[in-house]
Amino acid sequence: MPSSADLLEPLRRGEPRALGRAISWMENGHPGARDLMASLWPHLGRAVVIGITGSPGAGKSTLTDRLARALRAEGQKVGILAVDPTSPFSGGAILGDRIRMQRIAADPGIFIRSMATRGALGGLARATQDAIDLLDAAGYDTVIVETVGVGQDEVDVVSCVQTCCVVLVPGMGDEIQAIKAGIMEVADLFVINKADRDGADQVEQELTAMKSLAPPRPWDPPVLRTVAQQGEGIPELLDRVREHGAWLRAHGGLARKARERARLRFESLLAEAALRRARAQAGSERLEAAIQAVADHAQDPYTAVAGILGEP
Amino acid sequence: MPSSADLLEPLRRGEPRALGRAISWMENGHPGARDLMASLWPHLGRAVVIGITGSPGAGKSTLTDRLARALRAEGQKVGILAVDPTSPFSGGAILGDRIRMQRIAADPGIFIRSMATRGALGGLARATQDAIDLLDAAGYDTVIVETVGVGQDEVDVVSCVQTCCVVLVPGMGDEIQAIKAGIMEVADLFVINKADRDGADQVEQELTAMKSLAPPRPWDPPVLRTVAQQGEGIPELLDRVREHGAWLRAHGGLARKARERARLRFESLLAEAALRRARAQAGSERLEAAIQAVADHAQDPYTAVAGILGEP
């Protein structure tokens, strides 16, 4: 078993195996995780982090691929984190993901990882933040975080990337429904993908209408069109991402995002640690007995929890 | 301000105002919440809880409406909980929801509530469980929990209803993507809604293929077709829900679901309580200073959390 000191150097050199192991450490709460993060901490803050979010079928993966390849063409090293609270069940889609991953992972300048931990409360958001830091410390220039974007965890993840792109597609029925989940406020760019399909104008009109209903924001998120499958609109998307980055730098936005991100990480780690401590203090036997008492309707869950915590 | 004792009787009589207030108490962690739950606890376990989940645009709301009306026609009282980690931003969709709610909420035998708390970690799942209990104690015969079904919170919610219906629609592009998020394993029924559209056969084939790849389960989830807008397939759906309920009763499934539900509630309450205690012990000044130190890259978040908890 390597120690965190053994992992540090290969990780800083960007070796994929060290990176993969370090991400697993963070996901699983390995004893060396904390030391590793502490020793990396001074080396962070260089990578640009882009979020790609939107409903299933919007073409996020293809868009992410195209962005990654465009950045590679500039000589950048690119990390991709596919955040997906998925199950091991759905063979088809996972298989598709794997094929995609193998294709672009053949490029040593791209590191791709699927984040799908379904562990502790808020653990997915926290593990993704850790993975972003590890990629940053390993010298990746840009990290793309791709997520379905529904659910609080995912909103937390994309709310503190540098530039959050919300992807929509024409003709997906009640399209606007898909972007209800708290991601409107965190969108820095709207991307209408598959824009060669009928209905792109309608989506753009709906977006414009929604924006006009919202409270004004200092950065008005632009609406772009792409056909990711053909690579159309990708250079323009990168231009806009950079424009937004420049705007953030000019308006103190990077410091604000850093604070939001620090708050999120701190609070989810605090929740995990507090729960771990409460569990350890109670012991699994007492915990299981309390859960059984709730299941049997012998005790309500509030009273059971107070009992475990030794509160009146 | 009413006490929990004041709320108990009108709540048990099923008065909507008392019910609404009690749900808010649970959502907000009102001081009387725990007493109220303790006094209701002996009266629970009568309601049938049905989950309706699926991607945006699948017609879940219409299906829920139709189910509710069919149950009303049998003389049942019906509670509807629309779980939606939504934001107050997206005016359009919310407006549609409100119109729908007003229409069916005019029926005094239907109680409808949107659950959208974005508070504590895991808080949405916990608050929804509380609301199910309150409806149960208030004499509602069936509770329908409608949710977008992506994200761990929502998977938690639907994983412990009595019968979980996963709704799909033909022709929504990469449809199977939408059901990746851990809900395949918790599906008790698959509903292909808008089944009069082209592509219903294809969705059914994909579903069958996915099921054949999955490990065998004691209850093989049937696949049904509905056109909820026209009310087609609703009686058959209710029949299947009841068939599944009978199967659960015959095979010890209700006790198993009760244990899962107790575990979920207990663990999310424990996490909330442990975090609350850690925060109170640290005090907001120390917490804010720790977060700022992380944002400034002066300290890594793991070390900052250990410091707050007084751990080495």
Residue located via tokens 């989810």:
A268
Beta bridge partners of B79: B111, B143
Q: Which of A150, A206, A263, A299 to mutate to test the interface with B (most CBs of B within 10 A)?
A: A150
Output B282 or A121, whichever has higher pLDDT. B282
Lowest mean pLDDT: which of A11-20, A263-272, B93-102?
B93-102
Looking at residue A82, its pLDDT comes to 85
For chain B, percent of residues with pLDDT exceeding 90: 45
pLDDT at position A305, please? 94
CA dihedral B236, B241, B242, B244 (to 10 degrees): 120
Chain A partners of B273 at a C-beta cutoff of 8 Å?
Answer: 278, 305-306, 309, 311
Contact residues, chain A, for B278 at CB < 8 Å: 270, 273-274, 277
Interface test with A, best of B291, B303, B309, B311 (most A CBs within 10 A): B291
Whether A278 and A309 have beta carbons less than 8 Å apart is answered as: yes
Is residue A94 over pLDDT 50?
A: no
Residues in A touching B211 (Cβ below 8 Å): none
Average pLDDT over chain B, rounded to whole? 84
At A257 the pLDDT is: 87
Using the beta-carbon criterion (under 8 Å), do B262 and A294 form an inter-chain contact? Answer: yes
CB B172 to CB A173 under 8 A?
Answer: yes
Asked if residue A166 lies in contact with residue A52, where contact means CB atoms within 8 angstroms, the answer is no
**Can you spell out the DSSP letters for A15-76?**
-HHHHHHHHHHHHHT-TTHHHHHHHHGGG-S-SEEEEEEE-TTS-HHHHHHHHHHHHHHTT-
Cβ contacts (< 8 Å) between A275 and chain B: which residues? 270-271, 274-275
Which residue of A40, A41, A180 is in closest CB contact with B87?
A180
User: B268 and A121 in contact by Cβ < 8 A?
Assistant: yes
Report whether pLDDT(B143) > 70: yes
pLDDT (average), residues A273-285: 91
d(C-alpha A251, C-alpha A164), whole Å: 17
- Under 8 Å CB pairs connecting chains A and B tally to 272
Q: Rounded mean pLDDT of A58-84?
A: 91
A266 to B290: CB separation less than 8 angstroms, yes or no: yes
| Nearest residue of chain A to residue B119 (CA atoms) | A152
Q: What residues of chain A lie within 8 A of the CB of B206, using their CB? A: 92
Among A169-183, B117-131, B154-168, B185-199, the range of highest mean pLDDT = B185-199
pLDDT digits (tens, 9 = 90+) for B97-109: 555 656 666 788 9
Spatial separation of the C-alpha atoms in residues B256 and B186, rounded to whole Å: 13
pLDDT band at B271 (very low <50, low <70, confident <90, very high): confident
Q: Answer whether residue B94 shows pLDDT above 60.
A: no
- Give kind and range of the element (H or E) at residue B276: helix B253-282
Distance CA(A164)–CA(A181), nearest Å, equals 14
> Closest-CA residue in chain A for B307?
A270
All residues of chain A having their beta carbon less than 8 Å from the beta carbon of residue B182 are 85-87, 89, 118
A74–chain B nearest CA distance, Å? 29
For residue B60, the chain A residues in CB contact (below 8 A) are none
**Inter-chain residue contact A270 with B274, CB threshold 8 Å:** no
Q: List CB contacts (< 8 A) between B259 and chain A.
A: 291-292, 295
Return the minimum-mean-pLDDT range out of A213-217, A300-304, B221-225, B234-238. A213-217
ipTM of the complex: 0.81
Residue A93 binned pLDDT confidence (cut-offs 50, 70, 90): very low
| Mutate: best of A146, A194, A300, A308, partner B, most B CBs <10 A | A300
Option in B151, B210, B265 nearest A301 (CB) = B265
Chain B residues with beta carbon closer than 8 angstroms to that of A305:
266, 269-270, 273
**C-alpha neighbours within 13 Å on the C-beta side of residue B224:** 23
Query: Which regions of chain B does DSSP assign to beta strands (E)?
Result: 48-54, 78-83, 110-115, 142-147, 163-168, 189-192, 223-225
Say whether A152 and B118 touch across the interface (CB within 8 A). yes
Selection from A160-164, A223-227, A276-280, B279-283 with the highest mean pLDDT? A223-227
Q: Do B278 and A279 touch (CB under 8 A)?
A: no
Q: Cβ–Cβ of B274/A269 closer than 8 Å?
A: no
Range with the poorest average pLDDT among A173-182, A247-256, B115-124, B282-291? A173-182
* Spatial CA neighbour of A301 closest among B279, B268, B277: B268
Stated as kind and residue range, the H or E segment containing A83 is: strand A78-83
Do A295 and B148 lie within an 8 Å CB cutoff? no
List CB contacts (< 8 A) between B148 and chain A.
Answer: 150, 181
* Min distance A138 CA to chain B CA atoms (Å): 17
The mean pLDDT of B144-157, rounded to a whole number, is 72
Spatial separation of the C-alpha atoms in residues B122 and B276, rounded to whole Å? 13
Which residues from chain B sit within 8 angstroms of residue A41, using beta carbons?
297, 299-300
What is the chain B residue with the closest CA to A254?
A: B295
Closest partner residue to B176 (CB to CB) among A90, A265, A287 is A90
Whether B270 and A213 lie within 8 Å, measured CB to CB: no
Quote the minimal CA–CA distance from A132 to chain B in Å: 14
- Do A37 and A2 contact (CB within 8 A), yes or no? no
pLDDT at B159: 73
Mean pLDDT score, A235-248? 97
Give the mean pLDDT of chain A.
84
Question: What is the token pair recorded at A24?
Answer: 């697993």
CB A229 within 8 A of CB A199: no
- Whether the per-residue pLDDT at B212 is higher than 90: the answer is no
Burial class (CB in 10 A: 0-12, 13-18, 19+), B208: exposed
Residues contacting residue B249 through CB under 8 Å, at least 6 positions apart: none
Distance from CA of A178 to the nearest CA of B (A): 6
pLDDT level of residue B125 (50, 70, 90 thresholds): confident
- List pLDDT tens digits, range A202-226: 889 888 887 887 778 889 999 999 9
Q: Which residue ranges form the domains of chain B, and what is each CATH number?
A: 1-42 (no CATH), 44-251 (3.40.50.300), 252-312 (no CATH)
CA distance A84 to B152: 10
B85 or B216: which leads in pLDDT? B216
Q: What is the mean pLDDT of residues B178-206?
A: 82
Furthest CA-CA distance within chain B? 65
**Closest approach of chain B CAs to the CA of A88, in angstroms?**
8
Out of B87, B178, B301, name the one closest to residue A266 (CB).
Answer: B301
Residue B286: pLDDT band with limits 50, 70, 90? very high
Tell me, what's the pLDDT at A92? 33
Which DSSP helix (H) or strand (E) runs through B201?
A: helix B200-213
